[in-house]
């Protein structure tokens, strides 16, 4: 153990770090021999758990690791809240315990993901450096006692974070049993103090160059907001100039990115290339732009909690697809609930079998790891009631056996899934700017942009059985169909990209509220869909928030014989057709007079491509008809084939393999006819027809591709 007493020794930063450390000469640390273990790449399907050895007597560790090994657990994530144990006083580093925990895990064939502990700065730190505390929106500083009390933009805190991350990397960056790093934990809380505001103003200056440009782009003549000095610009988070609101969120995102990059830079040069670097994100959380923050990571990961209720395969499945889209490759579920959580209104447990079903649903959507938070109930601390795999008494909870079954199954299926990922013919475009812009000005309080996205996702996925959710700036040429629900903010560059996609033969479907705003959250001077209106050969004449559903008429060319009425629910746009070859797919019935008989959805062929605009939020039945039309018109094929309701199909392919995971998330036992004979990997044998009980799972390998 090295004890450095002077703060300037412990706090060397950036370029100085190597110099400082060579002076410190980190020798003499007691080393525990670590046997080499398989690298993550050799184990393509990982089962993990969050373990907190610092909370338990060392004599107990072996028993815990033994139980983990018996459950088939491959890795533990450790350290992410252990700063006060790693550095109990400033400059007094204690890593020997961590090294012994890693070595003992290796003896049980359990690998380690190390978390940097920066989401939980120790009390001595906040006491000595109170300026590192985040300032709440009401101007009060946060305080010690919980976690995430640090200020993400504070330079002093960055030095401290860099230091602890570097010390960890220097010690464990070449440890053969450490497979990766998690930076911090669930980025979420910003700071609103005078220094943050100053940094925001500097950031605005680098973005806009001159105040004239900013004033023009934000139309600050409105309500006398014109700025004559950068230091006049405030922070607004909910009701402010839309340009100001959007820029604050972009600043928040860039600042999380640089907060994270500071730690990546501390680790990467001192870590083996095989050690991955990730962080645990939070699904639909929109506190920052995840595309911005993901770009410096080698792997995307998220914490997948159901909370109250049960697994919703649509909302949760789409969150997986969203996370897969951050880096457009497989991802990890870094945390998920072992049965139940402690923070919902009612913390009901998932049913018996549901945890296993959920893990396969995760893998089906492209997760290469599923990790349970947390291993054992702590004896004290804020989360005593949370679900675990082992009780406070140190013996397995009832759920342990179900996770152990997963461990056996993961081992069996891993070779078939190696090198496979999710391939889709359909993409849904997702944009944080658009979500923020709508949420700041919903116009109909019931209109939720995530729900709107899911209203498209649900029927599209039911048919196609695989969907990508990607940034509106992602490459699109591989998709037969690209759907953009409520793509409210469309920059000039994005518009050009979408136009090129259509001209290249793709089918672009824009949902209501699309193409209204520009890159500064200002209104496009053209009517919606703004820069895409010419290509569409039609536009939005007026939008209407609906206080009651409005009937819509038309069948998307499906010649459906049903007499059930169809409705626009929360939002209706009165469309018009300008070009002679733009067709009307749907019209409004009797309504407010303005909408009566007017077009609600229009489409236009553009060479081999097509652009469609759906100007209303549609009820589920109408959306299903719309989805069928989109898929048929675009030539999208089903990934597997028809299955009974309740059966979820998840295709994964690559490396010459084609694997289907089937999970019964319905309430009834179902029989599935396979499109061809396949190998049942879990049960060994060839099958052409199979029966699945509720929550049951099967993994099928089709003939090699």
Binding residues for ligand GLA, rule: CB under 6 A, are 185-186, 303, 305, 335, 341, 373, 383, 386
Closest CA to 586 of 555, 540, 563: 555
Q: Can you say whether the dihedral through the CA atoms of 41, 360, 472, 450 is positive or negative?
A: negative
142 contact partners, CB below 8 Å, separation of at least 6: 133, 134, 135, 136, 148, 149, 189
Q: What is the DSSP letter of 140?
A: P
Partner residues linked to 577 by β-bridges: 538
Please, what is the minimum distance in Å from the beta carbon of residue 164 to ligand GLA? 18
Cα separation of 564 and 622, whole Å? Answer: 10
Tokens 């990607």: give the residue.
470
- Is residue 69 part of the annotated active site? The answer reads no
Please, what is the minimum distance in Å from the beta carbon of residue 334 to ligand GLA? 8
Please, what is the minimum distance in Å from the beta carbon of residue 519 to ligand GLA? 25
Specify the residue, 389 or 502, whose C-beta has the smaller distance to ligand GLA. 389
Specify the residue, 87 or 186, whose C-beta has the smaller distance to ligand GLA. 186
Please, what is the minimum distance in Å from the beta carbon of residue 372 to ligand GLA? 11
Specify the residue, 297 or 639, whose C-beta has the smaller distance to ligand GLA. 297
For residue 297, how far is the Cα from the chain centroid?
A: 13
3-state per-residue secondary structure call for 180-211: EEECCCCCCCCCCCHHHHHHHHHHHHHHHCCH
Cβ neighbour number for residue 201 with a 10 Å cutoff = 18
Please, what is the minimum distance in Å from the beta carbon of residue 524 to ligand GLA? 22
- Is residue 335 part of the annotated active site? The answer reads yes
Specify the residue, 90 or 303, whose C-beta has the smaller distance to ligand GLA. 303
Specify the residue, 91 or 287, whose C-beta has the smaller distance to ligand GLA. 287
Cα separation of 199 and 133, whole Å? Answer: 16
CA dihedral of residues 685, 688, 693, 699 (deg, nearest 10): 50
Which listed residue (186, 190, 354, 573) is catalytic? 186
Please, what is the minimum distance in Å from the beta carbon of residue 270 to ligand GLA? 25
Please, what is the minimum distance in Å from the beta carbon of residue 183 to ligand GLA? 13
Angle between helix 242-267 and 194-208 (nearest 10): 100
Specify the residue, 150 or 208, whose C-beta has the smaller distance to ligand GLA. 150
Burial environment of residue 444 by CB neighbours within 10 A (0 to 12, 13 to 18, 19 or more): middle
Please, what is the minimum distance in Å from the beta carbon of residue 591 to ligand GLA? 24
Please, what is the minimum distance in Å from the beta carbon of residue 373 to ligand GLA? 5
Cα separation of 477 and 460, whole Å? Answer: 19
3-state per-residue secondary structure call for 498-541: HHHHHHCCCEEEECCCCCCECCCCCECCCCCCHHHHHHHCEEEE
On whether the CB atoms of residues 633 and 627 are closer than 8 A, the answer is no
CA distance to 2, 434, 436, 520, per residue, from 249 (Å):
41, 12, 8, 12
Stretch (H or E) spanning 626: helix 620-634
Burial environment of residue 422 by CB neighbours within 10 A (0 to 12, 13 to 18, 19 or more): buried
Specify the residue, 90 or 190, whose C-beta has the smaller distance to ligand GLA. 190
Please, what is the minimum distance in Å from the beta carbon of residue 663 to ligand GLA? 23
Which listed residue (54, 80, 335, 409) is catalytic? 335
Angle between helix 313-327 and 354-364 (nearest 10): 40
Partner residues linked to 280 by β-bridges: 301
Specify the residue, 90 or 184, whose C-beta has the smaller distance to ligand GLA. 184
Specify the residue, 177 or 185, whose C-beta has the smaller distance to ligand GLA. 185
Stretch (H or E) spanning 320: helix 313-327
Specify the residue, 112 or 341, whose C-beta has the smaller distance to ligand GLA. 341
Token output for 350: 């998932």
Tokens 């447990």: give the residue.
349
Token output for 8: 């300037």
Partner residues linked to 430 by β-bridges: 471
The alpha helices in 37-193, defined as continuous H runs, are 58-70, 83-86, 96-107, 123-128, 155-172
Q: What is the DSSP letter of 350?
A: P
Please, what is the minimum distance in Å from the beta carbon of residue 377 to ligand GLA? 12
Cβ neighbour number for residue 650 with a 10 Å cutoff = 25
Specify the residue, 315 or 638, whose C-beta has the smaller distance to ligand GLA. 315
Instruction: Return the active site residues.
Output: 186, 335
């Amino acid at each position: 153990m090295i004890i450095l007493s002077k703060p300037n020794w412990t706090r060397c930063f950036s370029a100085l770090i190597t110099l400082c450390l060579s002076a410190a000469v980190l020798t003499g640390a007691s080393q525990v021999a670590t046997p080499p273990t398989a690298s993550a790449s050799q184990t393509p399907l990982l089962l993990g758990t969050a373990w907190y050895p610092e909370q338990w007597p060392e004599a107990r560790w072996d028993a815990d690791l033994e139980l983990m090994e018996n459950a088939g657990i491959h890795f533990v994530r450790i350290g992410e809240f252990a700063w006060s144990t790693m550095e109990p006083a400033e400059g007094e580093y204690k890593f020997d315990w961590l090294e012994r925990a890693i070595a003992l895990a290796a003896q049980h064939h359990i690998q380690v993901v190390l978390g940097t502990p920066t989401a939980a700065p120790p009390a001595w730190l906040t006491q000595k450096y109170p300026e590192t505390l985040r300032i709440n929106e009401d101007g009060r500083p946060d305080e010690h006692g919980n976690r995430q009390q640090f200020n993400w933009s504070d330079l002093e805190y960055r030095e401290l974070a860099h230091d602890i991350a570097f010390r960890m990397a220097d010690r464990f960056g070449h440890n053969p049993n450490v497979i990766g790093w998690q930076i911090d934990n669930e980025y979420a809380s910003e700071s609103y103090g005078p220094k943050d505001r100053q940094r925001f103003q500097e950031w605005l200056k680098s973005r806009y160059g001159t105040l004239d440009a900013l004033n023009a782009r934000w139309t600050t003549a409105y309500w006398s907001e014109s700025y004559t000095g950068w230091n006049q610009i405030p922070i607004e988070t909910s009701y402010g100039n839309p340009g100001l609101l959007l820029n604050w969120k972009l600043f928040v995102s860039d600042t999380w990115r640089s907060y994270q990059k500071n730690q990546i830079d501390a680790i990467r040069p001192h870590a083996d290339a095989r050690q991955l670097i990730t962080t645990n994100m939070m699904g639909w959380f929109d506190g920052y732009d995840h595309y911005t923050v993901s770009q410096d990571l080698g792997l995307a990961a998220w914490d997948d909690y159901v909370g109250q209720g049960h697994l919703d395969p649509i909302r949760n499945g789409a969150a997986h697809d969203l996370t897969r889209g951050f880096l457009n490759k497989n991802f990890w579920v870094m945390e998920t609930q072992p049965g139940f959580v402690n923070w919902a209104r009612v913390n009901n447990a998932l049913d018996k079998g549901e945890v296993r079903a959920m893990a396969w649903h995760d893998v089906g959507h492209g997760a290469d790891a599923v990790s349970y938070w947390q291993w054992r109930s702590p004896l004290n601390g804020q989360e005593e009631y949370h679900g675990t795999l082992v009780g406070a008494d140190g013996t397995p909870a009832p759920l342990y056996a179900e996770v152990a079954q997963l461990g056996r199954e993961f081992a069996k299926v891993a070779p078939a899934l190696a090198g496979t990922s999710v391939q889709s013919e359909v993409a849904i475009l997702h944009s944080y700017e658009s979500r923020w812009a709508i949420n700041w000005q919903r116009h109909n309080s019931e209109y939720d942009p995530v729900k709107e996205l899911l209203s498209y996702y649900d029927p599209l996925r039911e048919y196609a059985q695989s969907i990508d959710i990607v940034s509106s700036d992602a490459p699109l040429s591989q998709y037969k169909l690209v759907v953009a629900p409520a793509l409210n903010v469309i920059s000039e560059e994005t518009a050009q990209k979408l136009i090129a996609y259509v001209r290249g033969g793709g089918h672009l479907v824009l949902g209501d509220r699309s193409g209204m705003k520009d890159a500064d959250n200002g209104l496009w001077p053209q009517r919606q869909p703004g820069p895409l209106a010419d290509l569409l050969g039609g536009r939005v004449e007026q939008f209407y928030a609906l206080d009651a559903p409005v009937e819509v008429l038309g069948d998307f060319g499906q010649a459906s014989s049903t007499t059930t009425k169809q409705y626009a629910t929360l939002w209706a746009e009165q469309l018009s057709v300008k070009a002679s070859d733009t067709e009307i797919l749907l019209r409004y019935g009797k309504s407010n007079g303005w909408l009566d008989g007017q077009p609600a959805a229009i489409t236009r062929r553009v060479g081999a491509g097509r652009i469609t605009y759906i100007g209303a939020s549609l009820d589920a039945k109408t959306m299903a008809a719309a989805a069928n039309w989109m898929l048929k018109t675009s030539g999208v094929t089903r990934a597997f084939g028809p299955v009974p309701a309740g059966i979820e199909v998840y295709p994964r392919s690559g490396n010459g393999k084609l694997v289907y995971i089937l999970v019964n998330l319905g309430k009834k036992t179902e029989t599935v006819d396979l499109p061809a004979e396949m190998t049942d990997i879990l049960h060994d044998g060839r099958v052409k027809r199979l029966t699945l009980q509720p929550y049951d799972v099967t993994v099928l390998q089709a003939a090699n591709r």
